[in-house]
Amino acid sequence: MKDGIKIVTIGGGSSYTPELIEGFIKRYDKLPVKELWLVDIEEGAHKLKITADLARRMIEKAGVPIKLIESLDRREALKDADFVTTQMRVGQIEARIKDERIPISHGLLGQETNGAGGLFKGLRTIPVLMDICDDIEKLCPDAWLINFTNPVGMVTEALLRYGSHKKVIGLCNVPIGMENGIADVLKCDKKDLFVTFAGLNHMVYANHVYLKGEEVTERVMEGWGTQSMKNIKALEWSSDFIKTLGAVPCPYHRYYYMNKENLEEEIEKYKENGTRAEQVKKIEAELFELYKDKELKEKPKQLEQRGGAFYSDAACNLICSLYNDTRDIQVVDTVNHGAIDFLDRDAAVEISCVITKHGPVPLACGDLPDTVKGLVSQIKSFEIAGAKAAVTGNYNDALTAMIINPLVASQTEAYGVLDELLEAHKDYLPRFFAKQEDL
Residues labelled as active-site residues: 252
Q: Could you give the 3-state DSSP secondary structure of residue 164?
A: coil
- Cβ proximity of 124 and 90 under 8 Å: yes
Which amino acid is located at 32 in the chain? P
Nearest to 430 by CA among 40, 29, 126: 126
Strand pairing partners for 211?
Answer: 193, 214
CA distance 36 to 85: 11
- Cβ proximity of 157 and 387 under 8 Å: yes
Phi first, then psi, for residue 212 (nearest 5°) are 50, 40
- Cβ proximity of 102 and 424 under 8 Å: yes
What are the CA-CA distances from residue 70 to residues 30, 59, 289 (Å)? 24, 14, 19
- Cβ proximity of 15 and 306 under 8 Å: yes
CA distance 22 to 49: 18
Whether residue 151 has a cis bond before it, omega within 30° of 0: yes
Contacts of 219 (CB under 8 A, 6+ apart): 185, 186, 209
CA distance 48 to 110: 29
Question: Can you say how many angstroms the Cα of residue 419 is from the centroid of all Cα atoms in its chain?
Answer: 26
Question: DSSP assignment of 271-286, as one string?
Answer: HTT--HHHHHHHHHHH
User: What is the bridge-based pairing of β-strands 203-211 and 193-200?
Assistant: antiparallel
Strand pairing partners for 169?
Answer: 146
Contacts of 63 (CB under 8 A, 6+ apart): none
Contacts of 23 (CB under 8 A, 6+ apart): 311, 312, 313, 315, 316, 317
Nearest to 153 by CA among 307, 11, 336, 322: 336
